Amino acid sequence: MSLKEIITVPDPLLRKISEPVERVDKELLTLLDDMLETMYDAPGIGLAAIQVAVPRRVLVMDIARKEEPKKPFCLINPKIVRVSQEMSIHDEGCLSIPEHYAEVERPASVTVSYIDRDGNEQERDFNELLSRVVQHEIDHLDGKQFIDYISKLKRDRIVRKLKKEARRANSVIL
């Protein structure tokens, strides 16, 4: 396994719609393992393949606390098939938008169809935090970010700050 670099806003790749996975093979399983290692190292609770510059419909997540045993989920070609009428509002952050958070309203629960690591089709209900994480990560696969759900003014402020930080990181100090 190896750590992958997490790309950040304003990288245009984050707006790309990810391509479906054709088959579960050794290469894909290695990607999933690398993504989990990268997510845990970051640390984060969810990561979409596009965030490590791989535009494929794959995501990983694990909401277990540090002191708890790991409970990773690997979803291939995930698709939301049902959403609850009940909505919930919570702060969200993102490994691709470091150190920025905003309240986002999302359905409180969702049902997702996907393929697991073994190549089996699955359908599962996700509630509470897992529901929020899976929706956030599927958004990444569709070229969306959590800042798309906040006001234009707040979004523009965050993007400007991130662009400024990226310029500063790329400049040479003599």
Q: Pick from 157, 3, 133: which is nearest to 72 by CA?
A: 133
Q: Which two tokens stand for residue 27?
A: 């290469």
**Cβ–Cβ < 8 Å for 16, 50:** yes
Catalytic position from the list 92, 103, 121, 137:
137
Q: Is 137 a catalytic residue?
A: yes
CA distance 80 to 137: 11
128: left (phi over 0), alpha (psi -120 to 50) or beta: left
Give the catalytic positions in this structure. Answer: 137
